[in-house]
Amino acid sequence: MIKEGDGMEWFINIALIILVIWFFYSRFAGLKGLRNLTADQFQEEMKSNPNKILIDVREPAEWKQGYIAGAKNIPLSQINQRINEIAADKAVYLYCRSGMRSKQAARILQKRGYKELSHLQGGIMAWKGRVSK
C-alpha cells in the first residue's frame, strides 16, 4: 500500500540522484577542445612550441615545493582575477598536482575565449622532467 507522501519522496530521491550524476560528470568528464597530454607529450611540446605560456594552477604553498621551469603560478582560486596575465594569442599549457584543477582552469579559460588549451594528464605527479624550487 502506498502512503500519501511516498510520491514526493520518490521524486526528491530521483532529483538527488540526477544532481549527483551531473556533479560528477561536470567535474570528471573530458572538456571538448582541451588536449590531454601525457608527461612525455607535454615535455616535448614545451620544447618545440615557442608561442606558449605555461601556467601552474596550484596554490603558492604547493608551488614552493617545486614547479616546472618556466611556469607562471596563477592559482585556480585567482584565475578569474588574473586572467589578463594569460595571453590569449598563445598556446596555454596548464598543470596542477593531479590534473583536476588544470581541467577546471581550462574550462574557465575556454569560456573566456581561449582556444589553444592543453593540460598535463596526472599533473606534476606524472611529470618526469626536472622540477625547480
DSSP symbols for 19-65: HHHHHHHHHHSPPTTEEEE-HHHHHHHHHH-SSEEEEE-S-HHHHHT
Which sequence positions are flagged as catalytic? 96
* Region at 99 (left for phi over 0; alpha for psi -120 to 50; beta for the rest): left
Q: What pLDDT is stored for residue 48 in this prediction?
A: 93
Q: Which three cell numbers stand for residue 16?
A: 538527488
List average pLDDT for each run of 10 residues in the chain, which is 133 residues long.
65 81 61 86 92 97 95 97 95 95 94 94 92 90
Q: What pLDDT is stored for residue 1 in this prediction?
A: 46
Q: What pLDDT is stored for residue 33 in this prediction?
A: 75
